[in-house]
Amino acid sequence: MLDGNYNGMTEYLLQKEPQRGAIYHYPPGIWFSDELKRWMVTCPQLIRQAMSDRAFDVPAFDFSPVMRKMGVDLHHVEEIRKWFPMAEEGERHAILREKFARHITQQTACVLKSLEDELDARKLALLKIDREEEFCFYSYFMRPVMLKVIGSLANTRLPEEFAVEMIPQFLDDAISPMRRKTIIELLNNIVSAFPNKWTQEQKYFSCAVIALSANTLPSSISLTIVETLHLQPGRLLSEMDWSADLLRTGLPLIEKIVARDTVLGPFELKKGDRVRLFIEADGLFPDQHPRYSDLFFAVGSHKCVGMNLSRQIWAKFTEFLSAIPRRMVVLDVSERTGDYVFNYPQSIKVRFDV
């Protein structure tokens, strides 16, 4: 039933389908997509199995051949890619994980302090917005706050004019060559803007930190806020029952490559097959409220290193929102187009009616 297109939608965009909860939980939760030429796995048990089994390897995230043909300067991008733990296995993977873990621990206090300061600075402005005035919660509030947070995590200052939220799309193998070219040029500009005294390693690692956080964090937090408002209509932000955990993730899927012939559910998978794991499936059910799932942060050896920090950041947001005695009505949410990996709400039109 899930082969090819359904509801007129391409399987590339299954993660954007409003009714996908039912599709995710339709047995056996694994099928081969002729359109994507890869296995689609939506059954949470099979996803867990694939994440913990050494028969599944990481993809290389190497898009250089196409770009080279377009004459794009790939020097910086290839150096940045070397710092992605989710593109490595074995000893190099262990070294990169350790480096990220140490970096995140070192930056945590400073990230949380910059978040608190930024939220404090924006509270009055939020309280002063006229009743019934429409504004974009993402561009007016979420984006500037997140630029501070991600900048502080990457040990740099991210000016508003740098579209850093485009950078993680670099990891998407389906984006258009033009968008990839724009992202590479943006990365080249960011690398050039770092202080001269920084080592090459500091510059490239900092870009890798941005790539891993600049979509996952703002999108998961924004989607969770929107979902909470949807589930508890009519309440003031200060009276909402804010979930301790994120209810939605902005990274609905990840991919693996089959390293040796293996079996997943009822199917035999061959070495070299590509596998798409819909990690949001366990948090989305048909006709049920969304709920937190540990799969949002992956399980196994590539489990997210930024999970604890992300949860602490979400806790600061809930603390902040719990002190805003206003009722926010969501008018429209539009997600980024031309995006085949993230669910990224780049416009959230709202108004306060109290």
CB of 298 to ligand HEM, least distance (A): 4
In Å, what is the CA distance from 55 to each residue of 61, 218, 254, 257? 19, 33, 16, 9
Q: Taking CB under 6 A as the rule, does residue 16 contact ligand HEM?
A: no
Q: Which stretch binds ligand HEM (CB under 6 A): 133-141, 229-237, 298-306, 340-348?
A: 298-306
Q: Which stretch binds ligand HEM (CB under 6 A): 36-44, 113-121, 162-170, 206-214?
A: 206-214
Query: Which segments of 113-221 are extended strands (E)?
Result: 135-136
Closest by CA position to 180, among listed 74, 335, 47: 74
3-state secondary structure of 277: strand
Backbone angle region of 261, left / alpha / beta, with phi > 0 → left and psi within -120 to 50 → alpha: beta
What single DSSP character describes residue 170?
G
Q: Taking CB under 6 A as the rule, does residue 305 contact ligand HEM?
A: yes
Q: Taking CB under 6 A as the rule, does residue 302 contact ligand HEM?
A: yes
Contacts with ligand HEM in 248-287 (CB under 6 A)?
A: 249, 251, 254, 279
Determine the size of the site formed for ligand HEM (CB under 6 A).
25
Sort strands 135-136 and 345-352 into parallel, antiparallel or unpaired.
Answer: antiparallel
Q: Which of 206, 222, 293, 310 binds ligand HEM (CB under 6 A)?
A: 310
Please say which residue, 97 or 326, places its beta carbon nearer to ligand HEM: 97
Residue 284 and residue 243: Cα distance in Å, rounded?
15
What amino acid is encoded at 138 in this protein?
Y
Q: Taking CB under 6 A as the rule, does residue 296 contact ligand HEM?
A: yes
Q: Which of 85, 283, 290, 345 binds ligand HEM (CB under 6 A)?
A: 85
Q: Which of 29, 44, 151, 306 binds ligand HEM (CB under 6 A)?
A: 306
Residue 79 and residue 177: Cα distance in Å, rounded?
20
Report the residue closest to ligand HEM, judged by CB.
Answer: 306
CB of 120 to ligand HEM, least distance (A): 21
Give 335's strand partners: 345
Burial class for 140, CB neighbours closer than 10 Å (0-12, 13-18, 19+) = middle
Q: Taking CB under 6 A as the rule, does residue 341 contact ligand HEM?
A: no
Q: Which of 209, 225, 258, 281 binds ligand HEM (CB under 6 A)?
A: 209
Closest by CA position to 92, among listed 105, 103, 104, 83: 83
Q: Which stretch binds ligand HEM (CB under 6 A): 41-49, 158-166, 174-182, 294-302?
A: 294-302
Alpha-carbon torsion 181, 185, 190, 194, what sign?
positive
What amino acid is encoded at 110 in this protein?
C
Helix (H), strand (E), coil (C) string for 34-86: CCCCEEEECCHHHHHHHHHCCCEECCCCCCHHHHHHCCCCCHHHHHHHCCCHH
Please say which residue, 290 or 327, places its beta carbon nearer to ligand HEM: 290
Run of H or E residues at 221: helix 216-231
Q: Are 144 and 160 in contact (CB under 8 A)?
A: yes
Site string for ligand HEM, 91-130 (x = CB under 6 A): ------x--x---x--------------------------
CB of 216 to ligand HEM, least distance (A): 3
Q: Which stretch binds ligand HEM (CB under 6 A): 12-20, 213-221, 237-245, 342-350?
A: 213-221
Q: Which stretch binds ligand HEM (CB under 6 A): 140-148, 197-205, 266-274, 305-313?
A: 305-313
Q: Taking CB under 6 A as the rule, does residue 152 contact ligand HEM?
A: no
Q: Which stretch binds ligand HEM (CB under 6 A): 64-72, 175-183, 210-218, 263-271?
A: 210-218
Residues that bind ligand HEM in the complex, under the rule CB under 6 A:
85-86, 97, 100, 104, 209, 212-213, 216-217, 220, 246, 249, 251, 254, 279, 296-298, 302, 304-306, 309-310
